[in-house]
């Protein structure tokens, strides 16, 4: 006959109680399930869309461009986008014209087109077929320096010399412009011919050419000396504006 005080085996009691999952294991399982569920969505977001095949643009072939520079005709094979500056330097081999800023701000690339000064870095070579282009190499005539070139040397109007080709071309055109009655922003009466080429007139008319060495006073003196000496034109190769 059994007694109520009969003790039970501890192992039997533990076996009778159902096993409960630990909190850590529950959290791990929940995190794993969430990751598996989100994986397709994340993969869809990170996939890089396939770009359409790039269209290869055909380069415009060069064509012959004839430029008359310093009295000589140059027939150059140029793309339409080649600037006059690059055509002169890289194709015609006239390295006197300098590339400074390549943005029309410094004036180092100034040349004369039919006597009119222009920034050759801002214009295309194909636009100047049929015109007469004068670079610094064309200012001298028959091996003789132009009056402006001699004045720059006599008045020490340059230091490093990088801007000098553009300064010379600009100063040459300046004298022709003044002789033809072209006014400037400092001319007292723009409706009338300027009375005299003062230092203020010279500085204003040369303001498009930058000299980083700061030889401005000597440049003004050189231009004034040529003007007072009657050397309105620079040489036989330079047409009047």
Q: Give the per-residue pLDDT at 228.
A: 94
> Are residues 120 and 84 in contact, defined by beta-carbon separation less than 8 angstroms?
yes
How would you class 144 by CB atoms within 10 Å of its CB: exposed for 0-12, middle for 13-18, buried for 19 or more? exposed
In angstroms, the CA 35 to CA 92 distance is 69
CA proximity to 116, closest of 173, 33, 53, 36: 173
Closest CA to 86 of 36, 123, 53: 123
pLDDT value for 46:
57
Q: What is the pLDDT along the chain (241 residues), one digit of tens a residue?
A: 444 555 555 555 455 555 555 777 767 777 666 665 655 555 555 556 677 777 777 778 999 999 999 999 999 999 999 999 999 999 999 999 999 999 999 999 999 999 999 999 999 999 999 999 999 999 999 999 999 999 999 999 999 999 999 999 999 999 999 999 999 999 988 888 887 899 999 999 999 999 999 999 999 999 999 999 965 444 434 444 3
How many CB atoms within 10 Å of residue 135?
A: 25
**The pLDDT of residue 155:** 97
pLDDT at 232: 43
Using CB atoms within 10 Å of the CB of residue 171, give its burial: 0 to 12 exposed, 13 to 18 middle, 19+ buried. buried
- Fold entry, domain 140-228: DNA polymerase; domain 1 (1.10.150)
Residues of the chain with CATH 3.10.20.30: 63-136
Cα-to-chain-centroid distance, residue 42: 45
What's the pTM value of the predicted model, to 2 decimals? 0.72
Domain with CATH 1.10.150.120 in the chain: 140-228
Architecture of domain 63-136: Roll (3.10)
């Amino acid at each position: 006959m059994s007694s109520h005080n009969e003790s039970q085996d501890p192992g039997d009691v533990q076996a009778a109680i159902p096993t409960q999952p630990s909190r850590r294991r529950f959290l791990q399982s929940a995190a794993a399930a969430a990751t598996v569920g989100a994986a397709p969505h994340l993969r869809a977001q990170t996939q890089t869309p396939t770009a359409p095949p790039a269209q290869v643009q055909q380069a415009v072939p060069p064509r012959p461009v004839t430029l008359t520079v310093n009295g000589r005709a140059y027939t150059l094979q140029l793309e339409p986008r080649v600037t006059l500056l690059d055509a002169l330097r890289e194709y015609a081999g006239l390295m006197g014209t300098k590339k400074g800023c390549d943005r029309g701000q410094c004036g180092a690339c100034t040349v004369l087109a039919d006597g009119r000064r222009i920034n050759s870095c801002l214009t295309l070579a194909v636009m100047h077929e049929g015109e007469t282009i004068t670079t610094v190499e064309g200012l001298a005539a028959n091996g003789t320096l132009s009056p402006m070139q001699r004045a720059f040397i006599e008045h020490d109007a340059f230091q490093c010399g990088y801007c000098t080709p553009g300064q010379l071309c600009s100063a040459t055109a300046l004298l022709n412009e003044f002789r033809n009655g072209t006014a400037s922003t400092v001319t007292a009466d723009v409706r009338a011919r300027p009375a005299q080429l003062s230092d203020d007139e010279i500085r204003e008319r040369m303001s498009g050419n930058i000299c980083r060495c700061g030889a401005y006073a000597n440049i003004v003196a050189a231009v004034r000396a040529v003007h007072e000496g009657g050397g309105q034109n620079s040489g036989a190769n330079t047409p009047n504006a």
